Chains A and B, each alone.
Chain A
Amino acid sequence: MVEFLQFTLSGISFGMIYAAIALSLVLIWRGTRLLNFAQGGMAMFTTYIALEVIRHTGSYWAGFVVALAAGIVLGTVAELAVIRPSLGRPELNSVIITIGLLILLEGLAGIFYGGQYRSFPAAFSVTGLRAGSTPLGVSRFDVFVAASVLVTTLLLAVGFRYTSAGLRMRAAAFNATVARLSGIRVARVITVGWALAGLLGALAGVLVSPSTFLCPNSMDAIFVFGFTAAVIGGLDSPAGAVIGGLLLGVALSYAGGYLGSDVTALVAFGILVVVLMFRPAGIFSGARVRRV
């Protein structure tokens, strides 16, 4: 029973990371109808930048803030320099461009920071919390991870729903032509979407790197599961991203605990197949089938 609790809580912790990546993918999808394969790579790169800041200033929070800022900058630059010129072209081209960007970022990280594992500090203690004398299998840091992702998601949700900037973004995603006619600068909205996605990715990077150690390829597996979570939840649904992430994290934790470590990828695939069999566009997709 204690094991089950520990599996569940550690699954939620990783699930929140997948949710953050999934959310950033959803943001970009809603804005530009693109799959950003570089999302994990961008997160990895901003985490390296944070590590350098922490090394030079000795302050974790300075690094944290710089990582988030770097995420915004990286997202904006990627969109303007690399994605914007390819919009209006066949969309698979943009996907290949994001793949190229991913490979470029991994290469640059290797050149600037070397290929060895770097340990990234955690914001809070990693010693497990206890309920009485039973270890819960989560630490204060894990609670921080879950809280940060939740707070960010809520802020985004509130921002989308109640601010005029959020309304503009939703309008542009829903129908760009009419949005343009209403005076919304759709191009700028897209850039903001990429910037926010960059922020989310950077957050995921600093939150997960203490547990994965940082190296140029450390975010690859996280990206794959984050993408899977986004697909499970439905690429148009931010709520779906979070729920998909949690579902996947917890399921993989149970699989790893009860079935063994080599089946986790198959379990993820199985969940994906089952969900897509009943909801081909994810759990939270609107019914959109046109039959004749």
Chain B
Amino acid sequence: MKRSHGLRMPAVAAMSAAALAVAACSTSGSSASSAPSAAASSSVALTASAPGITATTITVGSHQPLTGPAAPGYSEIAPASAAYFAYVNAHGGVYGRKVMYKYLDDAYNPATTASVVRQLVLQDNVYALFNGLGTPTHLAAVSFLNSQKVPDVFVASGCDCWNQPSTYPETFGYQLDYIREGKILGHYVATHFAGQKIAYFYQDDEFGMDGVKGLDAEIPHSMVVSRQTYVPTNVNIGPQVAALRASGAQEVVAFSIPAFTALLKLYGLKVGYNPTLVVSNVGTDPITLSGLLETYAKQGGATVNGNQLTAGVITDGYLPTLGNTSNSWIALFKKVHDQYDAKAPFDGNVVYGEAVAYAFVQAMLKAGKNPTRAALVSAINSGLPQGPLVAPYAYGSANHAGATGAYIGVIKNGLIVQEGSVLTTDTSPSGLVTTSTATLQQAPASGVPAP
């Protein structure tokens, strides 16, 4: 059998050359740390006060699903945060330091997360881990981060497991957790749809199950006539929708991601089932939803657009809604987006990404001019200003949960419109859902938080 010797030598030579080139260009290795520069304009000299902090930069890392099945939607968040950091860097930075954001892809695989987080901490020497995304993925990182005493701030997941100050003192949540959200949505359903038949449709993991825990704390069990689950790997939810229809439920409360919220609507069309939908804010970014449903609307033949299919969906929100163009935060975030992240659509994921970056800048400003890692943790433990959230953070040394409240909204014309006031609650089954007394904050004129 003749061998292809002819190709062998040139190929080996080429690959060796390529490998050398790659090694030369590669940025792996210990992180660069510039020599401490002369004092900044303020009276205090900036020093390399902690790993990841130099006189001119702050380096934070994150793990995000940039490729793979979880990428749709979530992969927009980190670029949006990076955009806000770029804006801050262009406007004086944090006490003159620029924020460098290095986020690595873990494809939503916990084993990969464990690896990239170690790379960020042990090799790239990041100051903190910021906005690590995903519950099973971040669970693979949280023990390591805490044992290494690396601040693990503003985890991008609604699990209430990040609120364990005694076990995980370095870890802080950010968004409204799913139990609280379930209670707020459940409270609305129990008061507005009393006596009707309700069904649940939820993702078969802690996102859905925690949401249902919250719902069950508020909705009387006798009202719930059907509970259907789905797994993200199986898009054929026809059987579940048929079962929902057969149950006769007039409202369906869904803890589903946008694709499956859209599929719920789609299969509803197929089986002639059109209940009122009450959906977690995770699954109701109106831009994403309308985009997914747009093409079906056209199939109606008439001049129907995607917005008509999303009209009337009830949801919640803990950040200002996109439709609220007069809101100072939306104006700020849109300005930043248009300047630094223009290729992405301006949707809920972008607002989220920028808002959590804003929270980080607030925390860094509070941590002081030459912060240690512990200083960042203490800064958050002593509480953060409310920022763009509609209800205050819960942060304190005994509580590492983030958002505590949300408003109910209804989708009209492709945008979420707030209905009623902001509601807050806790994560216990018996805690009440009450109206929040907090006032909404305005965005700073400069767009950068005040120190």
A binds B: yes
Q: Is A280's CB within 8 Å of the partner chain B?
A: no
Q: Are A125 and B238 in contact (CB under 8 A)?
A: no
Interface pairs (25), CB distance under 8 Å: A2-B246, A110-B71, A115-B67, A117-B73, A117-B292, A118-B291, A119-B292, A120-B295, A121-B299, A122-B295, A122-B296, A124-B299, A127-B270, A128-B269, A210-B296, A211-B235, A211-B263, A220-B69, A221-B233, A221-B235, A253-B238, A256-B234, A256-B239, A261-B234, A262-B231
* 0/1 string, A88-122, CB within 8 A of B gives 1: 00000000000000000011001000011111111
Chain A residues packing against B (C-beta within 8 Å): 2-3, 6-7, 10, 14, 106-107, 110, 115-122, 124-128, 130, 135, 137-139, 141-142, 210-213, 215-217, 220-221, 252-254, 256-258, 260-262, 264-265
Closest to B68 in A: A217
Q: Are B300 and A7 in contact (CB under 8 A)?
A: no
Q: Is B204's CB within 8 Å of the partner chain A?
A: yes
B3 vs chain A, min Cβ distance (A): 10
Q: Is B330's CB within 8 Å of the partner chain A?
A: no
Closest to A213 in B: B259
Q: Are A3 and B243 in contact (CB under 8 A)?
A: yes
Closest to B294 in A: A119
Q: Are B271 and A137 in contact (CB under 8 A)?
A: yes
Of A2, A6, A121, A139, the contact of B298 (CB 8 Å cutoff): A121
Q: Are A125 and B300 in contact (CB under 8 A)?
A: yes
Enumerate chain A residues within 8 angstroms of B236, measured Cβ to Cβ: 10, 14, 211, 252-253, 256
Q: Which of B356-379 contact A (CB under 8 A)?
A: none
Of A10, A107, A221, the contact of B238 (CB 8 Å cutoff): A10
The binding surface of chain B is classed by DSSP as helix
Enumerate chain B residues within 8 angstroms of A110, measured Cβ to Cβ: 67, 71
A128 vs chain B, min Cβ distance (A): 4
Q: Are A257 and B301 in contact (CB under 8 A)?
A: no
Enumerate chain A residues within 8 angstroms of B250, measured Cβ to Cβ: none
Report the Cα distance A123→B238, complex, angstroms.
Answer: 19
Q: Are B301 and A125 in contact (CB under 8 A)?
A: yes
Enumerate chain A residues within 8 angstroms of B311, measured Cβ to Cβ: none
Q: How many of chain B's residues have a CB under 8 angstroms from any CB in A?
A: 47
B5 vs chain A, min Cβ distance (A): 14
B230 vs chain A, min Cβ distance (A): 5
Enumerate chain B residues within 8 angstroms of A262, measured Cβ to Cβ: 204, 229, 231
Given contacts A126-B269, A211-B235, contact A256 B295 (CB under 8 A): no
Q: Is B313's CB within 8 Å of the partner chain A?
A: no
9 A-B pairs with the lowest CB-CB distances in the bound complex, closest first: A257-B239, A135-B272, A10-B238, A121-B295, A256-B239, A115-B71, A128-B270, A117-B72, A6-B242
B202 vs chain A, min Cβ distance (A): 11
Report the Cα distance A254→B68, complex, angstroms.
Answer: 28
Q: Are B72 and A115 in contact (CB under 8 A)?
A: yes
Enumerate chain B residues within 8 angstroms of A252, measured Cβ to Cβ: 236
Q: Is B89's CB within 8 Å of the partner chain A?
A: no
Enumerate chain A residues within 8 angstroms of B292, measured Cβ to Cβ: 117, 119, 213
Given A3-B243, A261-B228, 10 other A-B contacts at CB below 8 A? A6-B238, A115-B75, A116-B71, A126-B296, A130-B272, A137-B238, A215-B69, A256-B238, A261-B237, A262-B204
Enumerate chain A residues within 8 angstroms of B67, measured Cβ to Cβ: 106-107, 110, 115, 216
Enumerate chain B residues within 8 angstroms of A264, measured Cβ to Cβ: 231, 234
Q: Is B266's CB within 8 Å of the partner chain A?
A: yes
Report the Cα distance A6→B236, complex, angstroms.
Answer: 12
Q: Is B76's CB within 8 Å of the partner chain A?
A: yes
Q: Is B240's CB within 8 Å of the partner chain A?
A: yes
Report the Cα distance A213→B236, complex, angstroms.
Answer: 12
Enumerate chain A residues within 8 angstroms of B228, measured Cβ to Cβ: 261
Chain B residues packing against A (C-beta within 8 Å): 66-69, 71-73, 75-76, 204, 228-231, 233-240, 242-243, 245-246, 258-259, 262-263, 266, 269-273, 288, 291-296, 298-301
Enumerate chain B residues within 8 angstroms of A261, measured Cβ to Cβ: 204, 228-231, 234, 237, 239-240
Q: Are B269 and A257 in contact (CB under 8 A)?
A: no
Given contacts A257-B240, A262-B204, A262-B229, contact A217 B69 (CB under 8 A): yes
Report the Cα distance A124→B298, complex, angstroms.
Answer: 10
Closest to A135 in B: B272
Q: Are B259 and A3 in contact (CB under 8 A)?
A: no
Of A115, A253, A257, the contact of B66 (CB 8 Å cutoff): A115
Of B73, B246, B299, the contact of A122 (CB 8 Å cutoff): B299
Enumerate chain A residues within 8 angstroms of B238, measured Cβ to Cβ: 6-7, 10, 137, 253, 256-257
Q: Are B266 and A126 in contact (CB under 8 A)?
A: yes
Closest to A4 in B: B242
Report the Cα distance A212→B69, complex, angstroms.
Answer: 12
Q: Are B299 and A126 in contact (CB under 8 A)?
A: yes
Enumerate chain B residues within 8 angstroms of A142, measured Cβ to Cβ: 270
Given contacts A119-B292, A211-B263, A213-B292, contact A139 B234 (CB under 8 A): no
Enumerate chain A residues within 8 angstroms of B259, measured Cβ to Cβ: 117, 213
Which of B229, B231, B300 is the most central at the interface, judged by chain A CB atoms within 10 Å of its CB? B231
Q: Are A139 and B243 in contact (CB under 8 A)?
A: no
Given contacts A221-B234, A256-B236, A261-B230, contact A119 B291 (CB under 8 A): yes
Enumerate chain B residues within 8 angstroms of A260, measured Cβ to Cβ: 229
Enumerate chain B residues within 8 angstroms of A216, measured Cβ to Cβ: 67, 71
Report the Cα distance A253→B242, complex, angstroms.
Answer: 11
Given contacts A116-B72, A217-B68, contact A210 B239 (CB under 8 A): no
Q: Are B269 and A127 in contact (CB under 8 A)?
A: yes
Of A116, A127, A217, A254, the contact of B300 (CB 8 Å cutoff): A127
Closest to A106 in B: B67
Closest to A88 in B: B1
